[in-house]
């Protein structure tokens, strides 16, 4: 599984934005979002897209809402085999993204985003406690099955399977179906 890096600064420049270190204004964010979605649709299945914010001093709430949260919403509703994550995000942009996530949550639209804090993978947004525990296990293991989660957490395999499926539906993890001697199962994984 590959991680495809897309530099936000380059995507903004390709849409004609001249000041690419300060990104503001929702209509411009929509243009960059459309560029990102076009690039994402061209990628092979089971891919992760790292939206890299290197060189971006700040994105305002509306711009970051378009280029991160709208892209995540699109993946959740239309694309089952790709996930996004963000990296190299400045503190002001991270604060604006957190505010955009909170605004969406107030409207009943809960979203989560994977992001790199240095070398460590984490997430923004709210998750149910059991999903958060399972995701943290995946941060450590990078790959697992429902059977492994059931054994590690001492829960029924159905419960473990439901947790992993919900994380997959939130586009926080990927999965691959395998058929072996024990039958069909899904292997859930994070990009590495």
pLDDT at 98 (0 to 100): 98
- DSSP H helical ranges for the chain: 8-14, 26-41, 61-64, 70-78, 91-106, 129-141, 146-153, 157-169
State both tokens at 114.
Answer: 């994977």
pLDDT at 1 (0 to 100): 62
Please give the average pLDDT of every successive group of 10 residues along the chain, which has 192 residues. Answer: 90 90 96 95 88 97 98 94 96 98 96 92 96 96 94 95 97 92 88 78
How far apart are the C-alpha atoms of 104 and 10, rounded to whole Å? 27
How far apart are the C-alpha atoms of 108 and 151, rounded to whole Å? 34
Identify the structural domains of the chain with CATH numbers, from first to last. Answer: 1-126 (3.30.750), 128-192 (1.10.10.10)
Give the number of C-alpha atoms closer than 13 A to the C-alpha of residue 128, restricted to the C-beta side: 9
């Amino acid at each position: 599984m590959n991680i495809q890096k897309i530099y936000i600064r380059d995507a903004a420049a390709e849409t004609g934005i001249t000041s690419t270190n300060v990104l503001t204004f929702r209509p411009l964010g929509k243009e960059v979002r459309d560029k990102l979605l076009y690039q994402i649709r061209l990628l092979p299945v089971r891919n992760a897209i790292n939206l890299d914010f290197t060189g971006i001093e700040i994105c305002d709430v509306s711009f970051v809402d378009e280029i991160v949260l709208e892209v995540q919403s699109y993946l959740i509703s239309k694309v089952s085999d790709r996930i996004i994550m963000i990296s190299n995000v400045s503190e002001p942009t991270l604060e604006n993204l957190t505010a955009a996530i909170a605004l969406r949550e107030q409207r009943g639209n809960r979203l989560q985003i994977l992001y790199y804090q240095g070398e460590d993978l984490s997430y923004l947004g709210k998750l149910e406690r059991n999903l958060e525990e399972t995701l943290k296990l995946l941060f450590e293991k990078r790959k697992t099955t429902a059977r492994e989660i059931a054994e590690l957490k001492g829960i029924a395999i159905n419960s473990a399977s439901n947790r992993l499926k919900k994380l997959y539906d939130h586009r926080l993890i990927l999965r691959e179906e395998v058929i072996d001697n024990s039958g069909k199962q899904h292997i859930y994984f994070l990009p590495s």
